[in-house]
Structure 1
Amino acid sequence: MWNQNSVSIILGTHYPIIQAGMAGGVTTTNLVSAVSNSGGLGTLGAGYMSADDMRLAIKEIKDHTNQPFGVNLFIPESPIVNDEQITNAQRLIEPFKKELHLTDNSSFSEMQIDFEKQLEVIFNEKVPVCSFTFGAPSKELVLELKKEGTIVIGTATTVEEAVINEESGVDIVVAQGSEAGGHRGTFLGSCEHSMIGTFSLVPQVVDAASIPVIAAGGIMDGRGVIAALALGAKGVQMGTAFLTCKESGAGAIHKRGVLESSETHTVITAAFSGKPARGIENRFTREMQEFESLLPPYPIQNALTKKMRKEAGKQGNPEFMSLWSGQSPRLSRDISTKDLLESIVSQVGKTIGELKK
């Protein structure tokens, strides 16, 4: 059976299908538990969560499933920022805030995430799977997690990043192609030099790594699963496909934006967060494009645009929202998580049968 391989055995799942840990509220406890209950690996996107909120969410997930699930964390970054960048960014964002009648003049404050406290929750709650983005976890951390029985997954957007993840001791590495929505896990060199498509990246990572490889980026259905397996991957990670599911925490405007978009509607932009990410083009991305070099890096820019994005969502204005999406929005569907996974599995079986003819 195609679904019983090294990845599904390591994860303890029925299918080697991972729901991406999309941070920012998309991965509700209902979505995570629904994916796990349907045979995949649900993942809580905890990158922006406090330790207390993480703990509550994990307990809720445990209340709704007895199957394995994962938690995704961001490796901390310490960018160099100067006052001029922050001043420039505030000046550029101000007209958009005024248009939204956003008059909050409180001083800017960067959201501080305590990575060490997040890790304490992972250990204390004995989370089955922990994945990392924006860097490779240290060998010492991986060893400690493994001692507690936690499976560790790394993220790579180049072969070199995959090798570093393997050297750190992770059990599985995700090869994340440039088709992926939102922020990718690049941590070596520039994002521009890591824009390698899934079909190109996966077989090269498979050849370079001795651990199982997961394909990610633009995979939306059973055809993508078959393609990934043919390239040597042992499973897939899917984000945008789950974003439009009933259980997803994405707002109605975000979901509709993805469902009504096409492959030509997404762009790579650093305007919202200071880190290049793929999302649906809108007025903010267009008008800010020429100024991206003046903006502070992630997570500073992300904090500077937070109130604007939140207010735009409240007002139902998609032009100033970060509508993250992968490159295959035409394949997105407004269905339940269970129905999505069942359709993927059915399509894989059907496609395998057709290939044998």
Structure 2
Amino acid sequence: MSTLLSDLGTDLPLVAAPMAGGPSTPALVTAAARAGGLGFLAGGYKTAQALAGQIHTARAEGIAFGVNLFVPNPAPVSDAAYRRYARALRPEADRYGLTLPGEPVEDDDHWADKIDLLTSAPVPWVSFTFGIPDRAVVRALRTAGSTVLQCVTSAGEARLAAESGVHALIVQAQDAGGHSATLTPARPPRPLQLTDLIAAVRRSADLPLIATGGITTSTDVATALAAGAEAAMVGTALLRTHESGASAPHKAALADPAFPATTVTRAFTGRPARALRNRFTDHYDPIAPAGYPALHHLTGPLRKAATAAGDTDLIHLWAGTGHRHAKAEPAADTYARLAAQL
């Protein structure tokens, strides 16, 4: 049992990953805790008020849990590149009667309000992705009593994270579903297999590690722990569980033979993210510029409309490479399968 997790009384070194956009419900976080692990609420894309509501719900269950935030680390897109991409998307928008944003929207995802929330009403764990918060933010959260984690995708990022004063690192490998945590989305680091990445990070930063990316079986969990991680973080494996808030079309696509492969694409948000390959990724990834959060806001109305219509050709079907192991079952059953070799 890892020291990192045992301090909070968890029985299993298994962490439910924060999955922004809906999947990481308070019910999923609670189920992870009840199964002996730990779960994270996803603060990304939420207002501080909406996040506070989910924190209140989880706290009322009397469980340990964490909150993940997106650190502002914009990848600006030129007006010309934005307009070209918006024009290319217009036929899709027209089919749904949508008007997409005419100008790039660059925001910070309510960063200051959410930091104020987490320092004034602390939660046991706080994790960060997309960027590294400044030392003052990390210090404030530590002073408030939170264990602070930083998601990294390379040894170099691990060194920077260690300098910020965080307690531990989440090491995300190339097979992860959804967004890459890379600090340099226009120039992602050289991809490594999870065990190799764990080894590289261990050499560069003397901090506890949580491994993530492609962990969907009990063998994957055991391999990550044997490589030096104190815990394994799972996301895709939980997407189809009863407690997951993933959309019905997303859950169905994960098991649909029509979607056999994943691909890393920036077509949806302007940041690299792994998703089930569909018509949108095939057609638009070759022409999509880098540009986050502007592309996220540009395609957001289209993705929302497509999800409501069950149009899986246009939905961002986030998924890791092991997505076929995701089962429609209670999260407790998924946890039991993942823990079989512990």
Match of 1:110 among 96, 102, 105: 105
Task: Report the CA distance between 1:12 and its aligned residue.
Answer: 3.7
Q: Which runs of 5+ in 2 are unaligned?
A: none
C-alpha change, 1:206 and 1:149, in structure 2 (3 Å) is same
CA drift of 1:37 comes to 2.0
Alignment deviations for residues 4-31 of structure 1 (CA, whole Å, 9 cap, x no partner)? 2222224442222111111111111111
How far apart, CA to CA, are the structure 2 residues paired with 1:194 and 1:68? 35
In structure 1, how many angstroms separate the alpha carbons of the residues matched to 2:88 and 2:33?
43
The answer (yes or no) to whether the contact 1:161–1:188 under 8 Å persists in 2 is no
Instruction: Label 1:66 to 1:105 Cα distance change in 2 as closer, same or farther (>3 A).
Output: closer
Q: Provide the secondary structure at the position in 1 that maps to 2:175.
A: coil
The answer as to 2:311 corresponding to 1:309 is no
Is 2:335 the counterpart of 1:341? yes
Distance 1:28 1:196, change over 3 A: same
Give the corresponding residue for 1:221: 217
Shift of 1:44: 0.6
**Among 123, 128, 131, the residue aligned to 1:127:** 123
Alignment of 1:277-316 (within 5 A): 277-292=273-288, 295-316=289-310
Q: Is the 8 A contact 2:209 2:231 kept in 1?
A: yes
| CA spacing shift, 1:91–1:199, aligned 2, 3 Å | same
Match of 2:23 in 1: 26
AA matched with 1:329 = H
Letter in 2 for 1:198: L
Deviation for aligned residue 1:141: 1.4
Out of 82-91 and 314-323, give the one that drifted further: 82-91
Percent identity of paired positions between Structure 1 and Structure 2: 32
2:315 aligned residue? 321
The 2-side partners of 1:196 and 1:103 are apart by 40
- How far the C-alpha of 1:220 sits from its partner, in A, is 0.9
Contact 2:76/2:294, CA 8 A, preserved across alignment? no
Residue by residue over 1:53-83, the C-alpha shift from the partner in whole angstroms, topping out at 9 and shown as x without a partner, is 01111001112x2121000001102333322
What amino acid does structure 2 have at the position aligned with 1:70? G
User: Could you tell me which amino acid in structure 2 is paired with residue 321 of structure 1?
Assistant: I
Kindly provide the amino acid, as one letter, of the partner of residue 55 in structure 2.
I
Q: Which residue of 1 aligns with 2:244?
A: 248
Equivalent residue, structure 1, for 2:63: 67
Q: Give the alignment's Cα RMSD to 1 decimal.
A: 1.9
Q: TM-score, normalised by structure 2?
A: 0.94
Question: How many angstroms does 1:98 deviate by?
Answer: 2.2
Tell me if the contact between 2:101 and 2:298 (Cα under 8 Å) persists in the aligned partners.
Answer: no
Q: Which segment is superposed worse, 163-172 or 260-269? A: 260-269
Q: What CA deviation, in whole Å up to 9, does each residue of 1:93-129 have, x standing for no partner?
A: 1111223x32446755737422010011112221110
What is the one-letter code of the residue matched to 2:116? Answer: E
**Distance (whole Å) between structure 1 residues aligned to residue 223 and residue 212 of structure 2:** 11
SS in structure 2 of the partner of residue 31 of structure 1: helix
Q: Which has the higher helix share?
A: 1
Q: Which residue of 2 aligns with 1:151?
A: 147
**Residue 247 of structure 1 aligns to a residue in which SS?**
coil
Q: Which of 247-256 and 5-14 deviates more?
A: 5-14
Deviation at 1:248, TM superposition (A): 0.5
Quickly say closer, same or farther: Cα 1:18–1:288, change in 2 above 3 A. same
**Partners of 1:55 and 1:125 within 8 A in 2:** no
Which segment drifts farther, 20-29 or 258-267?
258-267
